[in-house]
Amino acid sequence: MRVLFATSELYPFVKTGGLGDVAAGMPQAMDKIGVDIRYFLPGYPEIKKNLRHKKTIHDFDALFGQTSCRIVLGTLPGGIKAYILDAPGFFERSHPYLDEEGKDWEDNHLRFGAFCYAAAHLVQYDPKWAPDILHGNDWQCGLIPAYKAFGRLSFATIMTIHNIGYQGLFPAEYLSQLHLPPESLSVYGVEYYNQIGFLKAGLYYADHLTTVSPTYADEICTPEMGCGLEGLLVTRRHDLTGILNGIDGDIWDPRMDPALAFQYNEKTLAPKRQDKKVLLKELGLKGKEKEILLGFIGRLTPQKGIDLLLEALPLLEDQKLNLIIVGTGDAALEEQCRMVAEQYPDRVVAHIGYDEDLAHRVIAGADAIIVPSYFEPCGLVQMYALRYGALPIVRQTGGLADSVTPQTGFLFEGQTPQDLKNALLDAINLYYNAPKTWAKMQKTAMKQDFSWDASAKEYCSVYTRLLA
């Protein structure tokens, strides 16, 4: 089968969150099991620079107001072919979605409307390769199924929801700019509370829907987690499949990770303790090798529960613990992290900013990784932590609930600092009072298989059923 995988991010070229990692891992796994899969990507400079054997497939006279646009086919490192929408006026910018002030680009509707339009009409541009299935991801790809429906194009469509909170909402008067007919602006179409909803359009018009964990598939069908789209999703529940994301086992492998001073596996955990020692020295916490080291790695946004962690710390003042926070996000939360680090200078380190190598070193050196998200569609950090023997402390939601068990980590259900404190105390007490049990949990965690192989087979099964 031929699958066109459309995504607005692809690690290591463009990444703002987990979508970039998923887009890197899943198609590679699909390619290995024999699916003829190709990317459709925005023409970001970093992607254009790494595209090899390029040839122009189609030149547009004009596309959504841009006169210099074309579709280029080439091959990315790793061997998968990719089509890019080479539209410098849309995609040669400092950030894929935000301007220098951190606000959405004012023409995002045109940028990703054009992207969806070009992807949907690829069947008319490349006579040598036409997809059986067009697989779009998140709101940036949401109009693809709509263009397919109104263009009466012959391929199946799948939409994957990575985070239903990001919906791509724009004023209704933009409809004509997006080359959509007036009848599409309906509750049975692209309309969402008197706006154009890119994600809503994808969920309405796509032939099948997937999301990134089984539990999240259930959660988004409820008023608490559906972000206003739960009614539509309930009506389409039989078309919605939750498939847990995988991780790239080549990039995240403690046995051969170049970012680590010492490599290790579940049978030889001693080098992990050496990585901890090196990390503590790097952080300025030298001499605390016997104390538990906790890590938080992620976006500093309300969703991620960083506020719970910061509020739980004063409740643990009598405990011997050390914490490193690595992340960037909301300015107010960044400042709170700095203030906590200043309040506990001998116990807390806050690294504001994202550093991929540092993230690897923290996960390798930490004894436990905290993921207290209020909601988490899938989450990858806890999977990295499991693979590296850093026991996850997670809230029981979404993909966290689907990937962490009482045998491999610590789970809590509530949404208060006290709930997180109790889970942290469970981990702290086990670390100090039952080191053999802790080591057994580490080894069990490291044996879990979160490779993309299993997920790719599930997606392949969805593809096969859809075509049948």
The CATH number given to whatever domain includes residue 371 is: 3.40.50.2000
Partners of residue 10 on adjacent β-strands: 14
17 with 31, same domain?
A: yes
325 with 177, same domain?
A: no
Alpha-carbon distance 11 to 247, whole Å? 12
296 with 228, same domain?
A: no
Q: Write the single-letter amino acid at 335.
A: E
Angle between helices 108-120 and 144-151 (to 10 degrees): 50
225 with 113, same domain?
A: yes
What integer pLDDT is reported at residue 248 of this predicted model?
A: 86
In a domain, 264, yes or no: no
In a domain, 256, yes or no: no
Q: Write the single-letter amino acid at 72.
A: V
Alpha-carbon distance 178 to 147, whole Å? 10
207 with 59, same domain?
A: yes
In a domain, 345, yes or no: yes
293 with 190, same domain?
A: no
Range of the domain at 153: 2-246+453-467
Instruction: Count the neighbouring beta carbons within 10 Å of the beta carbon of residue 446.
Output: 20
SS3 of the chain:
CEEEEECCCECCCECCCHHHHHHHHHHHHHHHCCCEEEEEEECCHHHHHHCEEEEEEEEECCECCECCEEEEEEECCCCCEEEEEECHHHHCCCCCCECCCCCECCCHHHHHHHHHHHHHCHHHHCCCCCCCEEEEECHHHCCHHHHHHHHCCCCEEEEEECCCCCCCEEEHHHCHHHCCCHHHCCCCCCEECCEEEHHHHHHHHCCEEEECCHHHHHHCCCCCCCCCCHHHHHHCHHHEEECCCCECCCCCCCCCCCCCCCCCECCECHHHHHHHHHHHHHHCCCCCCCCEEEEEECCECHHHCHHHHHHHHHHHCCCCEEEEEEECECHHHHHHHHHHHHHCCCCEEEEECCCHHHHHHHHHHCCEEEECCCCCCCCCHHHHHHHCCCEEEEECCHHHHHHCCCCCCEEECCCCHHHHHHHHHHHHHHHHHCHHHHHHHHHHHHCCCCEHHHHHHHHHHHHHHHHC
Alpha-carbon distance 140 to 356, whole Å? 25
165 with 200, same domain?
A: yes
- Per the structure block, which two tokens stand in for 286? 């030298």
Block means of pLDDT (10 residues each) for the chain, 468 residues, are: 97 89 93 96 97 97 94 96 97 94 94 98 94 98 98 95 96 97 96 97 98 97 96 97 92 96 95 97 92 96 95 94 95 96 95 93 98 95 97 97 98 96 98 97 96 92 94
Angle (CA) 188 189 191, round 5°:
100
In a domain, 265, yes or no: no
Q: Write the single-letter amino acid at 415.
A: Q
In a domain, 405, yes or no: yes
Question: Distance between alpha carbon 255 and the CA centroid of its chain, in Å?
Answer: 24
119 with 45, same domain?
A: yes
**Residue 286, burial from CB neighbour count under 10 angstroms (0-12, 13-18, 19+):** exposed
237 with 292, same domain?
A: no
207 with 288, same domain?
A: no
In a domain, 232, yes or no: yes
57 phi, psi to nearest 5 deg: -95, -35
What integer pLDDT is reported at residue 354 of this predicted model?
A: 82
In a domain, 255, yes or no: no
166 with 276, same domain?
A: no
188 with 225, same domain?
A: yes
- Per the structure block, which two tokens stand in for 284? 């300025």
What integer pLDDT is reported at residue 338 of this predicted model?
A: 97
Number of domains in the chain: 2
In a domain, 72, yes or no: yes
Angle (CA) 83 85 87, round 5°:
155
Alpha-carbon distance 212 to 377, whole Å? 6
Q: Which residues contact 372 (CB under 8 A, 6 or more apart)?
A: 304, 305, 306, 308, 309, 393, 394, 395, 420
